[in-house]
């Protein structure tokens, strides 16, 4: 049976994901706030919807992958929002990174329409999205995950079922805290070493044979030393996720002192950035004028 796919959000991660489903031969109806960004996908075989609701209406499975909580709310519940278009029996999969509480609200609104909901935020960046090697952090019913697994298999190499609605977003926020702190840690270490007159490469050489090594640093270190900050995961989105993590921690009464400090660093760099940069650009915090 043909599975009709709806897709909302053609950003840095959303678009290569949608493209993989078009290439896999699924009928895909896309909507993006800026329709021009859909032009190449339409040439490749996707259909363009005029509204989120129109993208949802024919969908057996509707994916959303937009930047932040206000974007999810606009796409689902704004004018001609997708929620009103979803048919009973269909599945809504939100791959945006948002607050766990919003994921639970999406689940409840979907259930009221007889629609199954999964949150499935991703890790792996643009590179992982292009190669179909994302990792999905899933919250929701196991049976719903089973229904959409054939689609996820075109998009990712792995999916973790982490618990009920909210659990996937919670783990995603915790993972991004770790990445943000690791990358800031390297930026600070580089600032100390280079500020002392020792070349950055000396630190990186030692790091590569040490317990401090981390895959994320293997990728971000060359970006930092060459100052190539073309966004794979934009700093503005990392800043958003640190804010979401702190908001959740606040609600729970859990102190996150390192994350709170890091958010200030990322805030300062975001405020000063002239263009969209990867979060490796957090090292600009230590840049001398």
Q: Which residues are catalytic?
A: 172
Residue nearer to ligand NA7 on the CB measure, 69 or 140: 69
Angle at 82 between CA 78 and CA 84, to 5 degrees: 90
End-to-end CA distance of the chain: give it in Å, rounded.
Answer: 61
Query: Is 133 exposed, middle or buried (CB count within 10 Å of its CB: 0-12, 13-18, 19+)?
Result: middle
Residue 287 CB, shortest distance to ligand NA7, in Å, is 24
Residue 181 CB, shortest distance to ligand NA7, in Å, is 17
Residue 65 CB, shortest distance to ligand NA7, in Å, is 5
The full DSSP string for 27-54 is -EEEE-SSGGGGHHHHHTT-EE-SSHHH
Residue nearer to ligand NA7 on the CB measure, 66 or 93: 66
**CB count in 10 Å sphere of residue 185:** 16
Residue nearer to ligand NA7 on the CB measure, 37 or 147: 37
Residue nearer to ligand NA7 on the CB measure, 172 or 204: 172
Q: How many CA atoms lie within 13 A of 153 on its CB side?
A: 6
CA 206 – CA 56 distance, rounded (Å): 52
**CB count in 10 Å sphere of residue 32:** 23
Residue 31 near residue 48 (C-beta atoms within 8 A):
yes
CA 200 – CA 221 distance, rounded (Å): 10
Residue 59 CB, shortest distance to ligand NA7, in Å, is 17
Residue nearest to ligand NA7 according to CB distances in the complex: 11
Residue nearer to ligand NA7 on the CB measure, 38 or 107: 38
CA 219 – CA 126 distance, rounded (Å): 13
Residue nearer to ligand NA7 on the CB measure, 93 or 237: 237
Residue 124 CB, shortest distance to ligand NA7, in Å, is 10
Please name the residue that has the structure tokens 């909507």: 31
The residues that touch ligand NA7, with contacts defined as CB under 6 A, are: 9-14, 32-34, 37, 65-67, 70-71, 74-75, 96-97, 237
Q: Looking at the chain, how many residues does it have?
A: 289
H or E element at residue 122: strand 122-123
**CB count in 10 Å sphere of residue 161:** 18
Residue 66 CB, shortest distance to ligand NA7, in Å, is 3
């Amino acid at each position: 049976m043909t599975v009709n796919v709806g897709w909302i959000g053609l950003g840095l991660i959303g678009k290569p994901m949608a493209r993989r489903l078009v290439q896999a031969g699924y009928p895909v109806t896309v909507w993006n706030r800026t329709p021009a960004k859909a032009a190449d996908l339409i040439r490749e075989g996707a259909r363009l919807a005029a509204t989120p609701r129109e993208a949802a209406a024919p969908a057996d499975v509707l994916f959303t992958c937009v930047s932040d909580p206000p974007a999810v709310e606009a796409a689902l519940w704004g004018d001609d929002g997708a929620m009103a278009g979803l048919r009973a029996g269909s599945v809504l999969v939100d791959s945006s990174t948002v607050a766990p509480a919003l994921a639970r609200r999406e689940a409840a609104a979907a259930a009221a329409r007889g629609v199954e909901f999964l949150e499935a935020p991703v890790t792996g960046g643009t590179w992982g999205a292009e190669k179909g090697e994302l990792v999905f952090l899933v919250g929701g019913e196991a049976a719903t995950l089973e229904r959409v697994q054939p689609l996820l298999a075109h998009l990712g190499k792995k999916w973790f079922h982490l618990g009920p609605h909210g659990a996937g977003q919670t783990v995603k926020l915790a993972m991004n805290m770790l990445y943000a702190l690791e990358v800031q840690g390297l930026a600070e270490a580089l600032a100390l070493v280079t500020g002392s007159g020792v070349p950055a490469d000396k630190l990186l050489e030692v790091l590569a044979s040490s317990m401090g090594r981390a895959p994320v640093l293997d990728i971000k270190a060359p970006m930092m030393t060459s100052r190539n900050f073309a966004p794979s995961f934009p700093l503005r989105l990392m800043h958003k996720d640190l804010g979401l993590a702190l908001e959740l921690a606040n609600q729970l009464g859990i102190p996150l002192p390192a994350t709170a400090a890091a958010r200030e660093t990322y805030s300062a760099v975001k405020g000063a950035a002239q263009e969209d940069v990867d979060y490796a650009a957090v090292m600009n915090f230590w840049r001398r004028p």
